Structure 1
Amino acid sequence: MEPLAERLRPAALDELVGQEHLTGQGSILRKALQQGKIPSMILWGPPGVGKTTIANIVAHTLEVPFYTLSAISAGVKEVREVIEVARKQGHAVLFIDEIHRFNKSQQDALLGAVEKGIITLIGATTENPSFEVNAALLSRCQVYVLKPLGEPELRQLLQQAMEKDVWLREQHIEIKDTAALLNISGGDARKLLNLFELVVDTLQEDEDPVVITDKKVMDIAQQRIAIYDKAGEQHYDIISAFIKSIRGSDPNGAVYWLARMIAGGEDVKFIARRMVILASEDIGNANPNALLLATSCFQAVNLIGYPEARIILSQCATYLASSPKSNAAYMAIGNAQAVVSQTGDLPVPLHIRNAPTKLMKEQGYGKNYKYSHDYENNFSAQEYLPDEIAGTKLYDPGKNAREEELRRYLKAMWKEKYGY
C-alpha cells in the first residue's frame, strides 16, 4: 500500500490545502491552468508544502505529455532524451525535482529547449534559486514561493485524511492531542500524514478505538523516525544547532553538529553557504577575516567535494566559532531598513547628488560637496543623510577590540554628532 501522503495527493487545485496566494481563485497559476498554458517555473519552498503536488496537478489538468526527472538520479543524458521526445511530440512539460542539485552543465542542457518552447519546465527546490539556478535559466522561469503550512492547514489535512482515506475510515480514531503531530511535522504535509499513519498503524493493533495523545505520538516518533533526514525536521534542527554553536563560540559543539550533517550526506554547499552568512551576521567587523575565510571555504568545497571537503568545513567552522563576535553590521542594516520603511523615499541632499549635465549643475546638484581627500585625515564633516533624519546613528560598533578601534576613529572624526 502506498504511503498515506501519496494516497491523498490532490489531483486538482481545489483539493490542495494551503498556498492560496498561488492557487486560489483569481491567482496567476489558476488562471494559467484555466487558459491551458503555463510558464516555465521554479517552485521554491520547504519540504512537504505542495511543490510536487502542483506539478502533478498540472499533469492532470493540461492535455500535454508530462515527464518527471529527479536531479538526484538524472543527468544531461536523461534531460536530452526527454527534450528529444518532446521535440518529436511538439511540446511537453518536464518536472525536475530538487533542481538545485543539477550542476551548471545539466542546467545549461535545458536552456535551448525552454527558450524555444519545446519544453515547459517546472523545477522544485528547497534552496534559494538565486544561488542554485543559473541566471540564464532563472531568467526564463517564473519563481513562485511556497509557504510552510500553518496549524489550520495541518489540522485540515488530518481531518481530510480520516474522511477520505479508505484504510483510515475503517479505524476508530479519536484525536485527543495534536500538538506533537503538528510540531514534529514542522509545516510539512507529507511528514504529518505519514507520521499520522505510522501512529495509527502502531496503535490499532492494541487499541480500539485508537486514541491519539501527544505522549503516544512522541514515543512512537522517537522509536521509528530516522536519525537524519535532509528534507525533514532534523535537517533544520541540526543546522540550527550548528549555527548556534558557532554563534556561541563553542568549536566543539560546532564540529560535532558538522559531523552529524556530514554523516547524513548534507550538501556541502548548504553548510558552507550558512557559514558565509554567519561570518557577516554574527562576526562582522569584529573579525573581517571571517568572511574571507568563509567565502574561500564555499569556493573550495565546491571544487573538492566529499570526503575531503569535511576538512575544509571543519577548519572554517572551528575558526568562526573561535572568533570574536559582533552582530553590529547585521543590526545596522536592520536599523536602516526600519528607517526607510518609516520615512519612505527621502530626497538625496543636493550636495551629494551626481551632476553629469550642465542643467543639473545649474540646479545645484553637487554644489558645496567637500571631496574628503582634499581635507586633513581624508575627512570632511558634512551631512550624508537626508535632512529629515540628519544625525541618526544606524551603525553602533560592537564591544570588541577591533570595533572599539572603529568606534574611537568615528568619535574622533564626528565628535559628538553620532554619540560614538
Structure 2
Amino acid sequence: MNAPLAERIRPRTLDNYISQQHLVGPEGSLTNQIKQGILPSLILWGPPGTGKTTLATIIANTVERPFFKLSAISSGVKDVREVINRAKKEDGLFTTKNPLLFIDEIHRFSKSQQDSLLEAVEKGWVTLIGATTENPSFEVIPALLSRCQVYVLNAFSKNDLEALLKRAIAQDDILSKKDIKLQETEAMLRISGGDARKLLNILELVVATADSDSVTITDDLVTQKVQQNVVRYDKTGEQHYDIVSAFIKSIRGSDPNAAVYWLARMIEGGEDVKFIARRLLILASEDIGNANPQALMVANNTFQAVSVIGYPEARIILSQCAIYLATSAKSNASYVAINEAQAAVKAQGDLPVPLSIRNAPTKLMKELGYSEGYQYAHNYEGNFVPHQFLPEELSNYNFYRPGNNKRERALKDYLSQLWKDKYKF
C-alpha cells in the first residue's frame, strides 16, 4: 500500500522546507544552531500541520545524531525510560553528539510522564524536541519548560500552501504521472483550515476519486468530493478554531443561548475540558474585566473545578460559567490599557523612573535624590495625595479609560474626583 501523499513528499532537508523562515530561513533563530549542531532542548509550538514533525526529522538528519521518536498518545513512562536507556548507550558512542528524543503531542503527557524526562534532559543524555499544538506554558510542567527553548511555528500562508500543492503535483511519484491542472484552490484551503497535512490529504482524495488521470481541480469539484468526509468537529482542524471563535464571540456578545450551544458542540466533539476553561478564564478578564471583577473569580474557580472533576459532570460547571459570563456587564478597558501601555514602552523605550519614587536603601542613593519629595499616601486625608508616578514624557497619557458600565462609571467618577484635571475622560 502506498504511503499517504503527505509522507511521500515530506521534505528531508531545510532547503525543501516550506515556511517558518523566522526559524530556519537565512536569518532564522534556529538556522545557525542546526548548522553548528549545537542544539538546546526545545519545544516546537504551532497549529496542526505546520511542519513540527518534519522540522524535527530534518534537524536530526542535518546534525547527524541518533534519533528516537515517541508519540505521547501511545507512549507511557515505561516507553520513555526504555528510550532514555537506549539513548544513554548511544551517548556513549557519540560523546559530542547526544541523541535527539522527539516527542509528538507532548502536551498529552501526564505530569509523571513529563517528570520522567527531567533527569535525561538535565544531564544531557538526550536533547529533547517536543511538539505541541497547545500553549506549553499551560501544558508542559514548569521544571521541564525551564530546561527548554520554545519556538513558535506560524500557520502557513496562502502562498505557502499553494506552493505545497504545486510541489506535490510536480514531484510526487504518483501525481506527477497524471494530468492535473490546479485551476482553483480556495475550497481546499478553506476545508483544510491551513493544515498542510489535511490539505495534501484532500488533494490526494480528489485525484484518487477522479474518473480519469486527467483532472482539473476546481472549488466545486473539491466540495463535491470531500464534503461527506468533513468531520462534525475536528479538534485539530478548522472546526476547532471556528467553533471556539463562535463560543467566545457569543459570550462577548451577551448571548447565553448561543454560548451554551457552541459549548455543547465542543463537549460532544470531545474537546479538552481544560482548553474550554482556559478560554473562559481569558475572556473573563479581556471582555468583562472591572465591569464585573467577580467574573474572573468565577472563571478561575471553574478552571480549578473542572481540572479535578472532568467529564461528564464538568459540562454543568462549564455551562454555569459560560452563562454567567455571557450575562455579565462587559468591558475591554483593561485589555486596551495594557495594549496601549506596551505600545508606549516600545515607542518610548526605557524611560527613567522619576527620582521621587525610586527606592533609596543606601546613603549614596539618598544623596543623589532618590525618594526625595515622595509623599506617603496613607499620611493624607482619604489615603491620597497627588503625585507624578509616570515618567515625565508620559505624564499626560491615559492608558486606562473606564468602560461605560455601572461599576466603571463609578470608577470614572472616583478617579476624576481624586485627580481633578489629570484624569480627563
Tell me if 1:237 matches 2:214: no
Report how far residue 249 of structure 1 moved.
0.8
Letter in 1 for 2:228: Q
- Secondary structure of 1:166's aligned partner: coil
Cα distance in 1 for residues equivalent to 2:315 and 2:355: 53
The 3 A distance-change label for structure 1 pair 28 and 279 is closer
Gaps of at least 5 residues in structure 2 are: 92-97
* Structure 2 counterparts to residues 367-406 of structure 1, below 5 A: 367-406=372-411
CA-to-aligned-CA distance 1:62-99 (integer Å, 9 cap, x gap): 44432221112222122112112222333532211111
Calculate the TM-score normalised by the size of structure 2.
0.94
State the match for 1:182 in structure 2: 189
Offset, 1:287: 0.5
Evaluate the alpha carbon distance shift between residue 27 and residue 400 of structure 1 in structure 2; reply closer, same or farther with a 3 A threshold.
closer
Corresponding position of 1:130: 137
1:209 positional shift: 3.0
TM-score (norm 1): 0.95
Aligned residue type for 1:331:
V
1:310-364 deviations in Å (ceiling 9; x for gaps): 1221111111111111111111111212222222222211111111111111111
Q: Secondary structure at the match of 1:417?
A: coil
What residue is the counterpart of 2:19 in the other structure? 18
Runs of 4+ in 1 over 4 A off after TM superposition: none
Report the more deviating stretch, 72-81 or 322-331: 72-81
Q: Distance in 1 between matches of 2:276 and 2:407?
A: 27
Hey, what's the Cα distance between the residues in 2 that align with 1:57 and 1:63? 10
> Are positions 1:293 and 2:298 aligned together?
yes
1:9 deviation in Å? Answer: 1.0
Tell me if 1:199 matches 2:227. no
Q: 1:266 aligns with which of 267, 271, 296?
A: 271
Q: 2:421 aligns with which of 401, 416, 419?
A: 416
Q: Residues of 1 paired with 2:234 and 2:162: CA distance?
A: 23
* Structure 1 residue 254 corresponds to structure 2 residue 273: no
The match for 1:60 is 61
Compute the displacement of 1:217 (Å): 2.2
Q: Could you report, residue by residue, the CA deviation over 1:241-285 in whole angstroms, capped at 9, with x for unpaired residues?
A: 110111111111111111111111111111111111100000000
| Counterpart position of 2:6 | 5
Per-residue deviation at 1:38? 2.9
Asked whether the equivalents of residues 44 and 127 of structure 1 are also in contact (C-alpha less than 8 Å), the reply is: yes
Give the counterpart of 1:347 among 333, 348, 352: 352
Aligned length: 418
- The percent of aligned pairs where both chains have the same amino acid is 63
Q: Out of 353, 356, 360, which is 2:361 matched to?
A: 356
Equivalent residue for 1:327, pick from 315, 326, 332: 332
Distance 2:344 2:32 in 1: 38
Partners of 2:273 and 2:149 in 1: how far apart? 27
Counterpart residue number, 1:75: 76
Counterpart secondary structure, 2:30: helix
Partner of 1:39: 40
* Alignment match, 2:317: 312
Cα shift at 1:34: 3.5
Residue 112 of structure 1 pairs with residue 119 of structure 2: yes
Q: Does the CA-based 8 Å contact 1:285-1:403 persist in structure 2?
A: yes
Give the conservation status (yes or no) of the 8 Å contact 1:80–1:109. yes
2:70 match: secondary structure: strand
Contact persistence 1:392–1:418 (CA under 8 A): no
CA RMSD in angstroms comes to: 1.7
Task: Give how far 1:60 is off.
Answer: 3.3
CA distance in 1, matches of 2:357, 2:90: 60
**Deviation at residue 35 of structure 1 after TM alignment:** 3.5
Q: 213-222 or 346-355: which moved more?
A: 213-222
Which range is displaced more, 174-183 or 248-257?
Answer: 174-183
